[in-house]
Amino acid sequence: MSQRVAVVTGASSGIGAASARALAADGWHVVVAARRLDRLEALAAEIGGTALRLDVTDPESVEEFAARVDACHLLVNNAGGALGTTSIAEAKDDEWLRMYEMNVMGTLRVTRALLPQLLASGDGQVITIGSIAAREPYPGGGGYNAAKHAVGALSGVLRKEMIGRPLRVSQIDPGLVETEFSVVRFDGDQDKADKVYAGMTPLVAEDIAETVRWIASRPSHVNIDNVFIMPRDQVSAQVVHRVP
Ligand code: NAP
């Protein structure tokens, strides 16, 4: 039997890179996609996968990418992130729009573009990385909350629209995971990013990757709709146990 193909977006870092490694270890041929091609090429060489440049905010880039993916059995929609922590009162249109592009429109574009290959596989699967932000609004989370809530809606609608067809749709909503996420959110400010995880034990990218691999390896008749996964030290978006 020929190797099954998984596409992982945002695979140049964090949860995406860890998921690509976990899936490759389970025998998948993984197409790793993001903007930083140098990182992708190193990862593809390590796991025997394929590196392809992809900017999910650029419709042309998504179309070109999808045209190069002949077969796809699994799509992991992971590319995304947060920008800033501004309040609604001080919300910046540009930040909101960029978060919408990266998380919502990006997930829509890539999913829509790869649907033909996923359905043609006869047993397709989409696993989208949402967030606790998709479930719980919190002060300073405005644009990211709105974007991830929309991502949750997209997953739910797609699952309903695809009933009776060979496509499973899952979403994983993590709490705090220590990756480059906070460095990006705080525009490269490492000290600010470190404070997010100070005095507590966050999840690591591999914890989420294990969940991706687990969902992807359920038998075909089983659809894991949603998984909400948190560090033991976190019980809600802003209630975190920290040791001083
Ligand atoms: P990360 O280390 O910053 O990784 C983000 C990935 O997304 C990178 O590979 C980045 O690659 C890619 N990306 C960003 N913009 C992109 C674009 N326009 N086109 C293609 N790829 C793009 O953060 P992470 O924590 O692994 O985040 C992965 C996902 O988990 C995100 O959807 C995030 O919202 C979600 N999440 C994270 C946490 C957390 O606490 N870390 C919690 C809940 C949910 P390039 O820059 O190379 O393009």
Q: Report pLDDT digits (tens) over 138-179.
A: 999 999 999 999 999 999 999 999 999 999 999 999 999 999
Structural domain tally of the chain? 1
Q: Mean pLDDT throughout 226-241?
A: 98
Residue 144 bears catalytic tag:
yes
Residue that has been written with the tokens 């929309």 in this structure: 150
pLDDT at 2 (0 to 100): 81
Q: Which atom of ligand 1 is nearest to the CA of 178?
A: 41
Query: Is 228 within a domain?
Result: yes
Ligand 1 lined by 12 (C-beta under 6 Å): yes
- The tokens of 8 are what? 């992982």
- The tokens of 102 are what? 């990266």
Query: Is 244 within a domain?
Result: no
pLDDT at 199 (0 to 100): 98
Q: What is the residue type of 82?
A: A
Residue 137, Cβ density class (10 Å: 0-12 exposed, 13-18 middle, ≥19 buried): middle
Enter the pTM of the model. 0.98
pLDDT at 219 (0 to 100): 98
Query: Is 227 within a domain?
Result: yes
* Cα distance between residue 128 and residue 170, in whole Å: 6
Ligand 1 lined by 177 (C-beta under 6 Å): yes
Banded pLDDT at 135 (limits 50, 70, 90): very high
**Ligand 1 atom 46, closest CA:** 35
Query: Is 169 within a domain?
Result: yes
Query: Is 243 within a domain?
Result: no
Domain CATH number, residue 123: 3.40.50.720
| Residue 18: domain span | 5-237
Cα 117 from chain centroid (whole Å)? 19
Residue 133 DSSP class: G
Dihedrals φ, ψ of 99, to 5°? Answer: -65, -35
Ligand 1 lined by 15 (C-beta under 6 Å): yes
